[in-house]
Amino acid sequence: MKKIFILLTLSLVFFGSSQAQQKSTNSSFAEFDQYLSKEVAEGRLIGVHGMVYQDGKVVYDQFYGLRDKEAAAAMQGDELFFIQSMTKPIVSVALMTLYDQGKFQLDEPISKYLPEFAAMQVVNDPTIGSSSGTHAAPSPMTIRQVLSHTSGMSHGIAPIAFDKELWNGIILNGKLKTLEQRTSALAKMPLAFDPGRKWNYSFSPDVVGRLVEVLSGKTLDVYLQEHIFTPLEMNNSGYNLDEAQQKRIQTVYAFAADSTLKRTMMGQPTATGNTLFAGVNALFTSTADYLRFGEMLLNQGSWKGKQILKPETVALMTQDHSQGVERLDGKDTFERLGNGIVTDELKTLNLEPGHGFGLGFAVVQDPKSAQREPLSKGEYFWSGANSTHFFVNPKKKLVAVFMTQVGSVGTPNPYGFYFGNEMRRTIYQGLN
């Protein structure tokens, strides 16, 4: 937040195309609209698209800025975005469609279906890494745990020794070309914590995706297409895009040392020829497509008469499944990284106070202890490392999606949680 006003003096030359093309605006969302346009005008975003759905209809749909600053290409409202961790809720829903089919039970060990995860080891001290030694996991990882980030796995992005080992062994391993190969490699590495001991943001959605493949007999990309994207008419979603779709991808930017946004050469996603259909981060989608996904969840698993999930399964997914594990409260020392995620005293990625975690989503439990008073208990949400955000508020019958492309993994993003905070604040201000 302290860098926000540094940007006020930036030139607006590149944002001459930042006037929104009118699509749909409800006066209740004037504050949200002003927020989006201001972020572009003041240089914190290059281009942005926001959509809100409430009471059965789209009530806000606006976009500002540029799809590609260097090409002076204006936003058209049909951009595609590399959504990073907003892949995770979609893959979690895919697995739960198989739960509805009776293919598994939540408290079964994942080794029943992925035997390579039997007899896991756990590092004695994740801050030191494997050199601290290991011990046998006292219990097997369950499907419920991999869906709720309580399995003991880690994500490779925390600033500790073990996560560096994990990042080098998984992300930087150029030999892993499929999800099966990646999860096999994960099974060979120790866990960061005993299963069920601590909430820790992790690679577990890759295991979720691999379970989809084993239980369905189809690769994850095919299963998503058949059971989520096609019935929800998410026609611009997938791991690989056709030539016309590739031209609509918004460029990924990152903050430079002088707090200006620069095209990030390392962060542009590959949109064709992908064979590793990851559960953690690899999907492309559009704002409208992701809104349909949120509509389905809000409507208890149904969209235009198509039942993707049973109502009771949506209710199950949006309950807190992280009770009884080590979490933070408002008195603990932590630093916010994003909406729902904080760095704790161990420098591991913990759950933000006032929140729980369901089967694929963070769930607001206590807005007061979360220091987010406008939120409602029961709201569920997630975000992505390119500064994308979405949330569903069942009480207000509302879904909101915020799409842009500003990287925050390996880049100095001073607005890691600011964008999502302001999105929700301005939307709720209009509603209230």
| Domains recognised in the chain with CATH numbers | 81-398+406-432 (3.40.710.10)
pLDDT at 23: 59
Q: What is the DSSP string of 10-62?
A: S--GGGTT-SPPP-EE-GGGHHHHHHHHHHHHTTS-SEEEEEEEETTEEEEEE
Among residues of the chain, what percentage have pLDDT more than 90? 82
How much of the chain, in percent, has pLDDT values that exceed 70?
A: 94
Q: Residue 270, Cβ neighbours under 10 Å: how many?
A: 12
- Computed over every residue of the chain, the mean pLDDT equals 92
Residue 266 has pLDDT above 90, yes or no: no
Among 21, 59, 53, 57, smallest CA distance to 37 is for 21
The confidence score (pLDDT) of residue 24 equals: 57
Q: Which amino acid is at 273?
A: G
Asked if residue 3 has pLDDT above 70, the reply is no
Q: Kindly report, residue by residue over 110-154, the tens digit of the pLDDT.
A: 999 999 999 999 999 999 999 999 999 999 999 999 999 999 999
State pLDDT tens for residues 284-311: 999 999 999 999 999 999 999 999 999 9
Q: Which of 90, 120, 104 is nearest to 183 (CA)?
A: 120
CA distances from 202 to 126, 274, 309, 419 (A): 13, 22, 25, 23
Residue 25: pLDDT band (50, 70, 90) is low
Among the ranges given (9-18, 198-207, 289-298), the one the predictor scored with the smallest mean pLDDT: 9-18
Round to whole Å and give the CA distance between 334 and 353.
9
| 362/167 Cα distance (integer angstroms) | 24
**Counting every residue, how long is the chain?**
432
Helices (H) and strands (E) in the chain, counts: 11, 20
Q: How many whole angstroms separate alpha carbon 301 and alpha carbon 323?
A: 25
CB atoms within 10 A of CB 89: 26
- Residues 5-9, mean pLDDT to the nearest whole number: 34
pLDDT band of 17, cuts 50, 70, 90: very low
pLDDT, residue 343, reads 92
The yes-or-no verdict on residue 6 having pLDDT over 70 is: no
Q: Residue 36: CB partners within 8 Å, gap ≥ 6?
A: 20, 48, 50, 62, 64
Average pLDDT over residues 410-414: 78
Mean pLDDT of 6-29: 48
The predicted pLDDT at position 415 comes to 86
Q: Regarding predicted confidence, which is higher, 26 or 63? A: 63
Q: What is the mean pLDDT of residues 365-388?
A: 91
As given in the structure block, the two tokens for residue 111 are: 């080794």
Can you tell me the distance from the alpha carbon of 137 to that of 119, in angstroms, rounded to the nearest whole number?
Answer: 7
Is 70 exceeded by the pLDDT of residue 12?
A: no
For residue 431, what pLDDT is reported? Answer: 85
Q: 156, 202 in Cβ contact below 8 A?
A: no
Task: Write the DSSP string, 65-127.
Answer: EEEETTTTEEP-S--EEE-GGGHHHHHHHHHHHHHHTTS--TTSBGGGT-GGGSS-EEES-TT
Task: Report residue 28's pLDDT band, with 50, 70 and 90 as the boundaries.
Answer: confident
In this predicted structure, the answer to whether residue 9 has a pLDDT above a threshold of 60 is no
Q: How far is CA 263 from CA 127, 256, 275, 405, 406, in A?
A: 33, 9, 26, 10, 9
pLDDT given at position 18: 40
CA dihedral 33→35→41→42, nearest 10 degrees, is 180
Please say whether the beta carbons of 208 and 137 come within 8 A.
Answer: no
